[in-house]
Structure 1
Amino acid sequence: MHVSGYAVRSGMVPRSDSNQDNDEALVTNIINGVQTDSNEFGFAAQIFLKSGNSYRFVCTGSLITENYIISAGHCAIINNTKMSPDSYRIVVGSRSLGDPNSGTDYYNVVKINPGDYATNSAHDVALFKLEKSVPSSVATPIKVYPFRVYNKLPVTVAGWGVTTAGTSTPSNVLLKTVVNISSSTNCTDYNDDWTTNYGALLCQESYNGNDSCQGDSGGPLVTLYGGEQVLVGVTSTGGNKDANASNDCGTNTIAYYSRAAYFLKFISDETGITPRVLSQRIAL
């Protein structure tokens, strides 16, 4: 599968299963992950897309305001088609993977704003507006990390899905793994749109097998700041640096994340909340 705009190699794939051609598509997820603590990722959201007469899990997201979820643009525009808001159901505030087909509480989506992703695939973010606000007793929105991202910044990625590539049953619990920010020449070699980690994209290389994967798209890349998780990036795309390798995730891979702070104005314009408030617990 190709991602438009990632022209250096064909192995770069969106890290969701929403672009697949059938309902049985592989939903791989956090590689070398462990379970999250009870409230560690309380802002994480599960995005389900209608397929036939039921809904299937396709992407991860984050509660960015009380009634908006931030996720990947390719979770909203699939096969060059912007999906209808009523095609989605979103579960918020649970570590356990829900099932909106059978009684799990969920939120309907009333609006989707994928920004300019349709014409610029390097801007891989989208905002999903919920039909009603999420009570603070259910989940608290995550704040955006507004500073420069450097190689040694300790970051963790989280999402739902299988624990081993090649299987097809998502994990029942939210998983996380520590990954490594990179600015090596590989970052440009495998993606012409990456220039530095100060721009729209962040680069991550897997040196120890820890990685995000399909099903994690749109999910949070976070760091701790002032004792709280803050949003550094949104999971976008990745692949193996060896074109002949069988694994797109895990060992010897490279991945890209949309840098959250780069899109603060976009988020602010859509939500009506100022960039300062979107990161209000962080000293600017």
Structure 2
Amino acid sequence: MDRKRKNLVRLGTGFGAVAGAAAIAWAGIAAHAEEPVKPSSDFEAQIIGGQPVEEGQYPWLVGLGSPGEGSAYDRQFCGGSVIAEDVVLTAAHCVEDSAAEDLVVFSGSIDLESEDVVETAVADLHVAEDYNAPVAMANDWALLKLAEPVDVEPIALGTEPTEFETLETAGWGDTGEGFPPIAQWVEVPFVNDADCEAAYPDEVDAASMLCAGDIENGGVDSCQGDSGGPIMTPAGDEQVLVGIVSWGYGCAEAGNPGVYGEVADFNDAIEEVLAGWE
């Protein structure tokens, strides 16, 4: 599982991407960090291949980080999506070894250095009970119950597995040139299950995972630091959360699409947890 996970550790003013099977070494979460794996294809890296998010473009996009000193930019290590006024959906691998008090959520601005960023404590968390089954990284989802509601428009959850032409993903992860304080977004081609499984033989659980990226050319993808963030239907009347940034080999490499937790597969399980929190 070397190079798989797309979460990040920020140590002071320096950066290190978590690129192995271990979780992040921050706020009491044990792990190993190493430099981000740069894309091997010859393309202009800018998420990868994207552009800055505008304020209000994805109001549900939030950063997940650790409490303490320093800016939100210094402390953010994963992304998330607000799915109810006091609930954030993220990746299980971002929080599997955490307690609620180890975590905070940053909302209110897509610029993690902005004075408009609101920091909210996490009161409870739920990691998918079947995470890592039937294969590693399957069912990679977790829910965070916030200590108080955030003034953020939630995103609707996908409820039916669907094939798309393109999707959009966003986050504060590596662009190939560093980690930007302003979230980036990129449009990525949808990859069907057969091609996804062919790209990663014996590693894909088609029920709980989906793939997106340009298999032939590379160049567009989520990357280290984007884990837990959203992959969505294209902008329109109402965007729907289709998946959660999860894993992949390298970033934006030809032949290695990004892999995402498929929300439609565990939508019912999410609703059960939410009902228990009411």
**TM-score (normalizing by structure 2):** 0.77
Residue 211 of structure 2 corresponds to residue 203 of structure 1:
yes
Q: Deviations over 1:2-38 (max 9, x none)?
A: 2xxxxxxx55x11112525457865999101111232
Residue 46 of structure 2 corresponds to residue 33 of structure 1:
no
Return the alpha-carbon distance in structure 2 between the equivalents of residues 249 and 210 of structure 1: 8
Residue 46 of structure 1 corresponds to 63
Q: Which amino acid aligns with 1:71?
A: T
- In the TM superposition, residue 103 of structure 1 has moved relative to its aligned partner by 9.4
Q: Which amino acid aligns with 1:140?
A: E
Residue 179 of structure 1 corresponds to 188
The list of structure 1 runs, each at least 4 consecutive aligned residues, that deviate by more than 6 angstroms after superposition, is: none
* Pairing partner for 2:169 from 157, 169, 187: 157
Structure 1 pair 89/23, CA: closer, same or farther in 2 (3 Å)? farther
Q: Which amino acid aligns with 2:57?
A: E
Residue 101 of structure 2 corresponds to 86
Unpaired stretches in structure 1, ≥5 consecutive residues: 3-9, 240-247, 274-284
Aligned-residue sequence identity (percent) comes to 27
Return the alpha-carbon distance in structure 1 between the equivalents of residues 156 and 142 of structure 2: 16
Return the alpha-carbon distance in structure 2 between the equivalents of residues 117 and 215 of structure 1: 24
Unpaired stretches in structure 2, ≥5 consecutive residues: 10-22, 25-30, 39-45
Residue 153 of structure 2 corresponds to residue 143 of structure 1:
no
- In the TM superposition, residue 59 of structure 1 has moved relative to its aligned partner by 0.3
Residue 202 of structure 2 corresponds to 192
Return the alpha-carbon distance in structure 2 between the equivalents of residues 194 and 24 of structure 1: 25
Q: Deviations over 1:233-270 (max 9, x none)?
A: 1111001xxxxxxxx10231222111112111121111
Structure 1 pair 14/23, CA: closer, same or farther in 2 (3 Å)? closer
- In the TM superposition, residue 184 of structure 1 has moved relative to its aligned partner by 6.2
Aligned residues: 240
Q: Kindly indicate whether the alpha-carbon contact (under 8 Å) linking 1:27 and 1:161 is maintained by their aligned counterparts in 2.
A: no
- In the TM superposition, residue 56 of structure 1 has moved relative to its aligned partner by 1.9
Structure 1 pair 205/111, CA: closer, same or farther in 2 (3 Å)? same
Residue 64 of structure 1 corresponds to 83
**What is the correspondence of 1:212-223 to structure 2 with a 5 Å cutoff?**
212-223=222-233
Q: Which stretch of the first structure deviates more once superposed, 259-268 or 112-121? A: 112-121
Q: Secondary structure at the match of 1:228?
A: coil
Residue 272 of structure 2 corresponds to 269
Q: Secondary structure at the match of 2:118?
A: coil
Structure 1 pair 48/27, CA: closer, same or farther in 2 (3 Å)? farther
* Pairing partner for 2:147 from 111, 131, 142: 131
- In the TM superposition, residue 183 of structure 1 has moved relative to its aligned partner by 2.1
Residue 6 of structure 2 corresponds to 15
Return the alpha-carbon distance in structure 2 between the equivalents of residues 236 and 229 of structure 1: 20
Q: Which amino acid aligns with 1:90?
A: V
Structure 1 pair 22/122, CA: closer, same or farther in 2 (3 Å)? closer
Q: Deviations over 1:108-145 (max 9, x none)?
A: 0011101125552300000011001113xxx1110012
Return the alpha-carbon distance in structure 1 between the equivalents of residues 168 and 132 of structure 2: 29
Q: Secondary structure at the match of 1:106?
A: strand
